[in-house]
Structure 1
């Protein structure tokens, strides 16, 4: 089956002397590719600040219009978020569709959303993005899309309401409706989290930049320590391959268990609307016992990516959860791996020794409430022996005249539960 042809686009950006400009433009190209487009030309201008009406200066806008005509391209993607007037003016001069960075990311999310929750979150973000950008032509399009125009086309303005005001009310009603649906979904998700918490399983959340390898790392752990019927999470080498949070239970050979979640990836200048909309999805990170920040070790912009991740976590209120940093994709570098220095690991998700080091680190961080004790359990209480074999790390087993002798590493809650069988030295 042939791949659908990619839409050719021109990317443009304003260099105001920011240190991360080249990185942002490279990232924009990756976002364009993720939206099934391809960059045929890049246009930059050095300017201290955007022009209020046209983003670029007048001469550069005319140059852009010429490039658009010469390349036969009908779409221009801008590295910043534009005002409605900037978009209108650029479209008027270039005769091309103008997509700003926020609009591009919203398009990607809309195309990738699979679950009902993700689709609603993206819809909410798009509505919030559209609301302050309403103008006459946009409100006309909205009326056509929503059917809010009425049979008479509002030729009678006796009520004093403009078309834009009517469209704004339509958007606000839609936002209220989507928020209501999301609230119901969020309540169900919160109930699921409470049930998992009652099971007393610690939770670990993978966070980080999109395409850093979170899903690949999760799949490697699930293959080795997950249930046989656990589904692998979707993996593809592109930005925002998956938007839905996946939660899987891991059971290690010593019977220690935890819940591992793979959260939506971050990107620089992630639209505020999306951060707010995906707050509930990212609640897995907020409620985790440990965060694992996954970083693409082979990417020269990894420091900026880490700053983006930490800023996004701060924006959603995740500020006091312990974190370890995993520098992934070390197999694409000259680094020696796997290695660990404190709370930083260098590894490859494709390498079994790396996975073993990560598991060792996770255990150290989340299973600090385990104790080791000797038990003597009467033969009549064989169900206790069975429970400990299934839920604890039995280090040794022996048999005495009065019962089964076990040396066990177990959670402090289980220790207190079976304290009556503990053999005191």
Structure 2
């Protein structure tokens, strides 16, 4: 019988890579915390109609990509393909608007879409996202973009471009849709198959086509910016002015419409030249009608989501992370020595040190090799002689200096040990 492997479109995130994930999550948590955003955690699956109503039945996500199934109660359930709809459902269900003021929320978790797996895009993927509910101001749009930029800057990412556009309000979007369909209909036979299908049900998505022939047709297509009403135009100009005030460079991209039906006014994507064809790190925009669409009060909102897998690829290209942060690697051999080592390791951990205890029982030589590879500052050695005398050999791996010390004395010199560990790590 063959071995069982991970399902296509999913992958294991192994310990060395997990450290990049932790770096991303820590940077996001710190920056979002400084901006008074609160974390929210929503279920990994929801009623299917939440996404049909929220995202739009004409979208590729709902029409082609959702993982939908019937549960044992014959209810239609869907693994969440994105985070916003679930956050909005929770906002309505728990009457978060009753708390008054603007709700600043963020989330982190798994999403699911049935897509062709490729680098940075899996069928189970992960996002960090923010949602600001209750403010119609362009300042809210700029705040979330600025926080997005701060997170990427904190991670040391470069070669980033903010693509920006406005699709106006519902009326603007309808007028633009009519103009775009009118322009594209005479070219229908020359469009790629997906674009021909989208022409009737979701024509704005044709602007995202990667087909060269379709892109050539779109060069003369009408611009959405020409169909904004004066208020929408003024709003977009305010967003641009505030971004300029913050020294956040941007590129107006009139083809940018995003793939979900709930967007209004500002839409944006952050792209990296280091990601090749799949250049988008994350994106978002304003969705003023979604809360009402899902049964809540009329509530303006704006947000974004970052794809963690793509960020990890960028970080791996940018730098390697230092070795794991181990203070002591504890080596022991012999029945009494191994028993003492377990106690010693636990006491040191309780004292705030990071200790890796070798559990192999192999020869000292093999254990010492593992100690050298561990990245630890020092190696603690307990053999038969040390067990009998209640001592331990303390060896500093960077210099090779080694001394015998009473096991009990270790806990009398903890501050001295911390200082030496810090100095030893600087030598690595």
Q: The TM-score by the shorter chain falls in which range?
A: under 0.3
Instruction: Tell which has more relative contact order, 1 or 2 (C-alpha 8 A, sep 6+).
Output: 2
- Tell me the TM-score normalised to structure 2 length: 0.24
- Tell me the TM-score normalised to structure 1 length: 0.24
